[in-house]
Structure 1
Amino acid sequence: MHCPFCRQGETRVIDSRASHDFVIRRRRECLHPDCRRRFTTYEKIEQSTIKVVKKNGNRVPFCRERLRAGIEKACWKRPVSEEQVDAIIAGVESEIHESFEREVNSRFIGERVIEALRELDQVAFVRFASVYRDYEDVNDFVEELEPILRTGPAPPR
């Protein structure tokens, strides 16, 4: 590792810490006698780009921000925090990288998000499902809501 200040190649690691999303934070010190400055580096696993196979057969690169946009639309004006949205995204992304090497079907991603939203917020769940599952009429909504209505309302937060 080259020192960003003096460009010398001799540094030593002072401290290493693992953080979320498989990132390692390292504090380093330059060993050049005229510099001796400290700096932080981050080490992340380079993952291959996974393609998402859409309903129409097109293949597009997996985009975390696109997933976020869909979840945020479903959670608009709902009591869902940004941390909860981040947790859903991280969980889905982790499952994708664990289960697939090159391609993932968009259906897999959508179903994982639906499962997470069903547990988190029923209104956000219905919103996301209505777009994802492309409901044709009110009967489709009723079919989706029947299991929720049978078990009763969600406990208050």
Structure 2
Amino acid sequence: MKCPYCSAPDSKVVNSRPSDDGASIRRRRECLNCARRFTTYERAQLEPLMVVKRSGPREAFNPDKLLRGLSLATEKRPVEPEALRAFAYGFEDEVGAAEIASEEIGKRAMTFLRPLDDVAYIRFASVYRDFDSLERFIEEIRGLKNKDEG
């Protein structure tokens, strides 16, 4: 396993245990070059979940891409990174289908973020829904406020 810090090609496994969901193995590794430690997750890869993009092409689902989007939305917000990681890496198991539209991934991510943090939800929604005006942004915030009051 390549070290994420120094890019050395070799590391050793220091600790290995099943993850919380039992569908993957969490491994603590130590770089043989720089001696820094990092965590990797290993899981069985059966048939990959295929994502149907808005423009039509298909690509394999990448939980790191989803996690990156969630992390950007929750940056400097009181949201546990482990909750984001669990959602992103458990997403494929929750879908239970061979393919999913990218719009559905966005909807599910917004549903996940909504109860966690309103600001993170709005940040994610602004990118996912591609707000093209301030009015559209304000409309989304009013919708949030109305749901909270109702």
Q: TM-score of the superposition, structure 2-length normalised?
A: 0.67
1:113 maps to which of 109, 112, 118:
109
Structure 2: which amino acid aligns with 1:130?
Answer: S
Question: Once superposed, what is the RMSD of the aligned Cα atoms?
Answer: 2.5
Whether 2:139 is the aligned partner of 1:140: answer: no
Relative to structure 1, the CA distance from residue 133 to residue 21 in structure 2 (aligned partners, 3 Å threshold; closer, same or farther) is farther
Task: Determine the structure 1 residue equivalent to 2:38.
Answer: none
Q: How far apart are the structure 2 equivalents of 1:135 and 1:141?
A: 6
1:17-96 equivalence runs, <5 A? 20-23=21-24, 45-96=44-95
Write out per-residue CA displacement over residues 66-103 of structure 1, whole angstroms, 9 at most, x where no aligned residue: 1111110101111111111123224532222x1x12x2
Q: How far apart are the structure 2 equivalents of 1:90 and 1:108?
A: 16
Identity of aligned residues (%): 36
Contact kept in structure 2, 1:118 and 1:125, CA below 8 Å? yes
Structure 1: gaps of 5 or more residues? 1-16, 25-42
Q: How far apart are the structure 1 equivalents of 2:73 and 2:19?
A: 32
Structure 1: which amino acid aligns with 2:23?
Answer: F
The aligned length equals 117
Q: TM-score of the superposition, structure 1-length normalised?
A: 0.65
- Off by >3 Å, runs of 4+ in structure 1: 43-46
Relative to structure 1, the CA distance from residue 107 to residue 142 in structure 2 (aligned partners, 3 Å threshold; closer, same or farther) is same
